[in-house]
Structure 1
Amino acid sequence: MALQKKRFLKVVFLLLPVALAGVYCGTSLPAWTMPAKGLREELTRVSAADLKTLRHSSALLAEQTQKMQLLLEEVAQLRAELSSVKEVQKVNQAASEMASEVYVQMSDWALKSSGATIDVQRTSETYSCKENWGCRVLWFFRTANPPDTILQPDVSPGNCWPLQGHQGQVVIRLPAQVHLTAVTVQHIAKEVSPSGTVISAPRDVAVFGVDADGEEETLLGTFTYNVAKELIQTFPLKNAPLPRAFSYVKLLVKSNWGNPAYTCIYRVQVHGKMDIPGSQTVAEAHVIQLGG
Structure 2
Amino acid sequence: MNGHDERPYPARPARRYANPITPFRVFVCVSLSLLVGLHMYAYLWGPHDISTSISDVKYFVMQLSREISQVHRKHERLQSEVERVSSALPVVAAAAGRAKEALRPSPAGSLLSLADYDRQMGDFALESAGGRVLDTGDTEGYFHYDGPVSWALHELTTWACHECQAARAVIQPGTLPGQCWAFKGDRGQVVIRLLATVHITGLSLEHIPPHIDPTREILSAPRQFQLEGLKSRTDASPHDFGVFEYNKNGNPIQYFDVTWPASQGFSIVRFKVLSNWGHPVYTCVYRVRVHGDLLLGQAPRSHVTVQEEARIDNG
Short-chain TM bin: 0.5 to 0.7
Structure ranking higher in helix proportion: 1
Match of 1:113 among 119, 123, 128: 128
Instruction: State the distance in 1 between where 2:136 and 2:254 align.
Output: 28
1:261 corresponds to which of 268, 281, 293 = 281
Name the TM-score, length of structure 2 as normaliser. 0.49
Map residues 261-280 of structure 1 onto 2, 5 A cutoff: 261-277=281-297
Determine the structure 1 residue equivalent to 2:217: 197
Inter-partner Cα distance in structure 1 for 2:120 and 2:231: 21
> Could you tell me how far apart the structure 2 residues matched to 1:121 and 1:192 are?
28
Matched ranges for 1:115-264 at <5 A: 115-120=130-135, 122=137, 124-130=139-145, 146-215=166-235, 216-240=237-261, 242-264=262-284
Unaligned runs of 5+ in 2: 1-102, 107-117, 151-156, 159-164, 299-315
Q: 1:223 to 1:128 in 2, by over 3 A?
A: same
Distance 1:218 1:175, change over 3 A: same
Match of 1:153, SS?
coil
Percent sequence identity over matched residues?
A: 36
Q: Go from structure 1 to structure 2 and tell me whether the alpha carbon gap of 1:152 and 1:121 turns closer, same or farther (over 3 Å shift).
A: closer
Q: Rate the CA distance shift 1:218–1:194 in 2: closer, same or farther, 3 A.
A: same
Paired residues in the alignment total: 170
Change in CA separation of 1:118 and 1:162 when aligned onto 2, cut-off 3 Å:
same
| Partner SS for 2:202 | strand
CA drift at 1:239:
4.3
For the aligned residues, what is the CA RMSD? 3.1
Q: Distance in 1 between matches of 2:139 and 2:146?
A: 19
Distance 2:211 2:224 in 1: 22
**Moved beyond 6 Å, runs of 4+:** 101-105
8 A Cα contact 1:202 1:256, kept in partner = yes
Query: Which letter does structure 1 place at the counterpart of 2:125?
Result: A
Structure 2 SS opposite 1:191: helix
Secondary structure of 2:283 counterpart: strand
TM-fit CA distance, 1:165: 1.1
Call closer, same or farther: CA 1:123–1:105 in 2, change over 3 Å.
farther
Partner SS state of residue 147, structure 1: helix
Larger Rg over CA atoms = 1
**Within 1, Cα distance between the matches of 2:296 and 2:183?**
35
Output the CA distance in 2 between the equivalents of 1:158 and 1:104: 24
Cα drift, residue 244 of structure 1: 0.9
1:251 positional shift: 1.2
- Secondary structure of 2:195 counterpart: strand
State the SS of the aligned residue for 1:202: coil
Kindly indicate whether the alpha-carbon contact (under 8 Å) linking 2:233 and 2:268 is maintained by their aligned counterparts in 1.
Answer: no
Give yes or no for contact 1:104–1:272 (8 Å, CA) kept in 2.
Answer: no
Q: Is the 8 A contact 2:136 2:189 kept in 1?
A: no
Letter in 2 for 1:196: R
